[in-house]
Structure 1
Amino acid sequence: MCSAIGARQYTATLSNIPEDWDNVEACMKTSFYVHGKAVSTSPICTVTPALNSTTIVQGRWIVDFDESDCVPVWSAISSECSSYGMRTYQADIHVPPGLDALASCKATPAIIQEKKLYPECELARQDDGTLVAKGHWNIPDTSCAPQWVRVTPHACYTYDQKRYTAVLDKIPHEMDPLKTCFEAPLRIPGDTGLLSPVYYWAFGIDRVRKPDSCGWDGGGMVGTWYLEHSDCRPTLISMQRYGCVGSGLQRFESEVADFGPYEEWYHLCTAIPYQWWGKTYLPVKCESRKSWGKTRRYVLYDIPTDQCA
């Protein structure tokens, strides 16, 4: 029976010891051969009384060469993409009798991608009730990282946020498309109107974002992002305070400028926040007015105040 990986214990009985020899000394000095080679280590010798005033002298050796039957062996290793950018390799391991299955699994490396790697291991119960040690290796793999294509900007979703969509291309067949979509990051291009690349570099801000939502559209898995964008930041100019418009409410009004090109102004206008005494207020309405042949946009806020009690 194997005593360790690549090692087996051997026991032999020493016979024909001359009467005037010491039994233990004879055991220690007698050569022992296994696989055609002399064992270099000294044995552990025992002397046991037997019948008829005789003794039994035995030696025990741990042999750690040419013991291939005591080396655990991996079954054929299979692999599949398990998550975005990650491939999982897995295999069962045959553990020789006498060895601890889980410890042997953890101590036995495999060659994966030309590297000797040690696995993570667990015991799994088979249909017949026996326990089998299984190993797995999680290895980064670009073939498990489908890429975003057809990145498309859309209209502003709300104040300071533009909607972007992209299609996740070449999803490996074994990966769940929806799960993979939420795991796949998109590198934000420098021309989205976000903060400048220099700002991101200086302050260590990550410019890689995972989708805010995912779903099937037109037969493809589509991710959606809501990203900061200068086109979605209209500017309040010439804020004016007017009279009371109800119990405890005072009307504030400002002209609005700097709507992004092709943006629906009213949708954006109704989402413009206004800070007043540490609180944020949203518009009660927006209006479009013409004056001297020019159209201007206005936003109106009703803000609580004791002056209108």
Structure 2
Amino acid sequence: MEITKVLIPAAGIGNRFLPYTKAVPQEMLPLLNYPAIHYAVDEATSCAISNIICITNKEKSAIAHYFDENNDLDALLKEKNQESLLVDVQKIMRTAEFTYIRQSEPLGLGHAIWLARNTIYKEYFGLILPDDLIFDKQPAFSQLLRIAKQEKATVIAVQEIPIEQSSSYGMIAIKKQLSPSLFQVSQIIDKPNPIHSPSNLGVIGRYIISHKIFTSLEEINRYGDNKELSLNDAINNMIQNNEKVFAYKIQGTRYDLSTPLGWLKANIGLALQHPHYSPHIRRFIAEFDLASHFFTDQLTVKNNKHFL
């Protein structure tokens, strides 16, 4: 099994980051000195993926600009002996070929995937959601690649989720457990009430998918009642048509970039691992914590005076 294409959906409105996303794509939120989508593309290219397919909308031109040549900037940095500032982006541009497909209206993740049907033929392809930032010694997508080649089937990434959060995830029902981290899936239940969740394993944003997903998307579009196309429904349709689907419990630290709090945690987490920023951030946190305790103590003393 050879996988050469990764699909990155980046057409969402980014409601949780308004009004910022009124002007700037959510995928361009900075994580230290790189935009969020850079990490998704870097993860793909680190696994020898040579074709990146981005699903965007008319407001997301900044994404294409970021991964495009900028001869004026190159010349300016060369003149100032600062070419190293663009090394990482240039490496990606030389490694991968980018295709951009426009989604004219937000009709669901399944619809975004369906738009790529003419660029993906009878082959497996990757899907990376840039909202999920995952760090491990072995990239999350590389972990899935190993399982997909082993099982020769669709593989979705899962993570243990606190059961009270099940209503925010697609939760898998397990047909068979093959190892502590590998499961054959019987169904994905979309955002179940905690008391109805079939397991504590929630789907996160890494997939390797058979081209047969396009047939399933067309079927649920033809017979379904919803305006939006659901990827989970399409995967369930594949399972009903005797296509094996596996779930793999990804190793690594995951940050949810779909919320401001998750984005803040990701920046702090990245900074704490960065050789230059780490000592400064650790010192700042220690000083901030000390100042907070001092403020709390002073407030307690002040309040207690009212009772003396």
Alignment TM-score, normalising by the size of structure 1: 0.17
Larger radius of gyration: 1
Task: Return the structure number with greater strand share.
Answer: 1
Task: Return the structure number with greater helix share.
Answer: 2
Alignment TM-score, normalising by the size of structure 2: 0.17
